[in-house]
């Protein structure tokens, strides 16, 4: 049993979609969240940069927040840095790609699964690898949607012309005849309604966060590090970007009074 916090990391506010589900399902657990907004988008960075940034964040959360496990609540960082982090830090680390793949394979009836993600995640082939390992008969049709991340970060997805942008960016996926579509970037569940409208109600949208939280629960149990005390929980938030902007998106998404601390990149670089 451990009262230590679970660490969550993302390039920005996207990982809050996973953290929110964890807050609902793991109500005794303390959470420490870091969004690396100053270096976003990870989807356009090199593998080496993503590995370096991810390790800095992991080290920060371990040193400053004494976290008991790390959730890479970012598909791009999972695709490039999950194994890298597991080799370098001693606490349990989980990503979102394997859980998302399990959920997609469980839901498809036609074995035609779509993936929308950052260009980095698409290029890595991480989902294809994970899905083929589970069921070699499932085909994956991928589309990079880099415009969606800034639309969520700046809350621009609320503007009038957004549906047209979404329709245009999903036009290829919409001709691939998939029956299941993975929201393969943690920012995308915030735009879920627009995406569902574009692909139509017959396509099942997969938010990897749900399966990830189930797996977090299992890891806590298997390592005997759940918090069994029903005390008031603490949620702490850090951003390397603008704390006011982070708070605005986070307050709305989590329905919680978030006061993120600004973390200068310099402090991460020194770790």
Q: Is 177 helix (H, G, I), strand (E, B) or coil?
A: coil
When asked if residue 118 is in the footprint of ligand DGL (CB under 6 A), the reply is yes
For helices 192-199 and 162-169, give the axis angle rounded to 10 degrees.
60
What is the smallest separation between the CB atom of 146 and ligand DGL, expressed in angstroms? 7
Binding mask 193-232 toward ligand DGL (x if CB under 6 A, else -) reads ----------------------------------------
CA–CA–CA angle 50, 52, 57 (5° rounding): 95
Would residue 185 show up in a list of annotated catalytic residues for this protein? yes
Give me the catalytic one of 23, 40, 67, 74.
74
Q: How many CB atoms lie within 10 A of CB 259?
A: 12
What is the smallest separation between the CB atom of 190 and ligand DGL, expressed in angstroms? 10
What is the smallest separation between the CB atom of 168 and ligand DGL, expressed in angstroms? 19
3-state helix, strand, coil in the chain (%, to 5): 50, 15, 35
61: CB partners within 8 A, 6+ apart: 7, 9, 32, 34, 67, 70
Peptide bond just before 41 cis, omega within 30 deg: yes
When asked if residue 41 is in the footprint of ligand DGL (CB under 6 A), the reply is yes
Would residue 145 show up in a list of annotated catalytic residues for this protein? no
Residue with smaller CB distance to ligand DGL, 5 or 95: 95
Kindly indicate which of the ranges 6-14, 85-93, 105-113, 122-130 contains the residues binding ligand DGL, using the contact rule CB under 6 A.
6-14
**Active-site residue numbers?**
74, 185
Residues that bind ligand DGL (CB under 6 A): 10-12, 14, 40-43, 74-76, 118, 121, 149, 185-187
């Amino acid at each position: 049993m451990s009262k230590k916090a679970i660490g969550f990391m993302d390039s920005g506010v996207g990982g809050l979609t996973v953290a929110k589900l964890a807050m609902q399902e793991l109500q005794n657990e303390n959470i420490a969240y870091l969004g690396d907004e100053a270096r976003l988008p990870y989807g356009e960075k090199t593998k080496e940069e993503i590995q370096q940034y991810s390790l800095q964040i992991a080290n920060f959360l371990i040193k400053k927040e004494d976290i008991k496990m790390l959730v890479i609540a970012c598909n791009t960082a999972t695709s490039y840095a999950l194994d890298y982090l597991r080799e370098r830090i001693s606490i349990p680390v989980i990503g979102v790609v394997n859980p998302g793949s399990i959920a997609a394979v469980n839901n498809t009836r036609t074995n035609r699964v779509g993936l929308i993600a950052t260009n980095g995640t698409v290029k890595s082939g991480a989902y294809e690898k994970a899905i083929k390992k589970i069921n070699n008969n499932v085909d994956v049709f991928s589309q990079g949607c880099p415009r969606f991340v800034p639309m969520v970060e700046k809350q621009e997805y609320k503007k009038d012309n957004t549906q047209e942008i979404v329709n245009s960016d999903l036009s290829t996926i919409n001709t691939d005849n998939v029956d299941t579509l993975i929201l393969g970037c943690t920012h995308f569940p915030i735009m879920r309604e627009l995406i569902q409208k574009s692909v139509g109600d017959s396509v099942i949208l997969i938010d990897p966060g749900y399966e990830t939280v189930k797996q977090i629960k299992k890891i806590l149990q298997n390592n005997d590090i759940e918090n069994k005390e029903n005390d008031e929980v603490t949620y702490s938030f850090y951003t390397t970007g603008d704390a006011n902007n982070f708070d605005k998106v986070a307050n709305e998404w989590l329905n919680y009074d978030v006061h993120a601390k600004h973390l200068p990149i310099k402090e991460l670089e020194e770790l």
